[in-house]
Amino acid sequence: MNLFGPVLLGTLAAVVGLSSAGYAEDSAAAAVATPALNAVEVRIGAVLASNSGKEFDARLASLHRQFDILFPYSSYRLVKEERRQVPWGGKAGFDIPGGRYVLVVPREFKNDRVSMKVMVLEGSRPIIDTVIALRNHATFLIGGPRQPDGVLILSIGADTLH
Amino acid sequence: MTCREALNLVPLLLDGELESRQMRALVMHSTRCTPCETELRQLERLQEMVSDSVNARVDELDLSNFWPNIEQRLGTLELSWWHRLRTWWDTSERRWTVQIPAFAAAAAVIAGLALVFFFRNPQTLPDPAGAQVADNTATIEQLETDADSVAVVNDPETRTTALWLVDDTVPGETP
């Protein structure tokens, strides 16, 4: 089998291809380095879920499908919503129902994902201490903390700020 | 083998076109059959005469300018660089010193282009849940809990990651 033609073409394309790869790498590096991601906006929502009634809070429209599929409740009510701009490495604390406290520490932005430490405290008791990498503008859910009239579902999101 | 069969095979024997089995049978027959042996010898003699005659005529030819004439014609033939390169590629004894790096370079280019294409078009990956579903999947890099248990829910349909705590403690109550 004569591979002269394909190999020669491949060799010639090597210069072009590797140059393109280098350019792409430079572009990717520039894409990460260029935006001045000085801070991140952290979103916290506290939702009371229960099986008493069939209320679905209109402010939770963007999460309707997730709640229907993931959780076995008929009623969802947003009881608290808060946004806070936090510098990278800074801390943002949020009081949530039940005397609980959520602490969020954004760490870094890499591959279009925000890495952040999330702690949910019940008094001094850490019921969750986790580090997650979440896509920019996405929402992460933590459910299960009991309330007298249902359970609490926390929605935590992050939006980078340029 | 009959004489008729043998006589049919004699010309083929002289032309070197007989299989070893046929050749052996013909020779065995000839040793026992005088007419066939005679026929065989006559044809051998005829072939020698023809060969001698042709060689004699060839010897008379003046071939002293044969190769110089060919070289002169070859000298006027302009081979393209592509043709010369291909000839070298196909015939050079040391071609592998170039071919192996060339194969490696070609493979590197294909891999490089694939990577570039992939990173420039990440959105071209198939989206089983449809383009309208936001990607809310998260990577859990570390997880510790003081609750009774925790479930990590990763739902492909809604592309959502959730943690579900199972904790019987109600604030203000004794567990």
At residue B77, the pLDDT reads: 63
Measured in degrees and rounded to the nearest 5, phi and psi for residue B121 equal -130, 55
The gap from C-alpha A96 to its chain's centroid, in whole angstroms, comes to: 19
For residue B69, give both structure tokens.
Answer: 């004439």
Instruction: Check CB contact of B156 with chain A, cutoff 8 Å.
Output: no
3-state helix, strand, coil in chain A (%, to 5): 25, 50, 20
Which residue of A8, A24, A134 is in closest CB contact with B119?
A: A24
pLDDT in tens, A78-125: 999 999 999 999 999 999 998 899 999 999 998 889 999 999 998 888
- Tell me the per-residue pLDDT of B32-67, one tens digit each, with 9 for 90 and over: 888 888 888 888 899 899 989 999 988 888 888 888
Tokens at A119, concatenated: 């702690």
Q: Looking at residue A41, what is its pLDDT?
A: 93
Residue B89: list chain A partners with CB under 8 A. 4
Secondary structure letter of residue A39 according to DSSP: E
Q: How confident is the model over B75-130, as pLDDT tens digits?
A: 666 778 888 888 877 777 777 787 788 888 999 999 999 888 877 755 444 444 44
Which residue has better confidence, B153 or A9? Answer: B153
Among A2, A6, A127, beta carbon nearest to B147 = A127
The number of angstroms, rounded, from the C-alpha of A128 to the middle of its chain's C-alpha atoms is 16
Radius of gyration (C-alpha) of chain B in whole angstroms: 44
The enclosing H or E element of B27 equals: helix B20-32
Residue boundaries of the structural domains of chain A: 1-34, 39-161
Distance from CA of B158 to the nearest CA of A (A): 6
Alpha-carbon torsion angle B85, B86, B92, B96, nearest 10: 100
Could you give the CA distance from residue B47 to residue A11 in angstroms, rounded to a whole number?
58
Instruction: Give me the residue from B85, B142, B162 closest to A142, CB to CB.
Output: B162
ipTM over 0.85: no
**pLDDT tens, position by position, A123-158:** 888 889 999 999 998 999 999 888 898 999 999 999
Q: How many A-B residue pairs are in contact by the CB < 8 A criterion?
A: 161
The pLDDT assigned to A114 comes to: 92
The tens digit of pLDDT for each residue in A31-75 reads 443 344 688 999 999 999 999 989 999 999 988 888 988 898 999
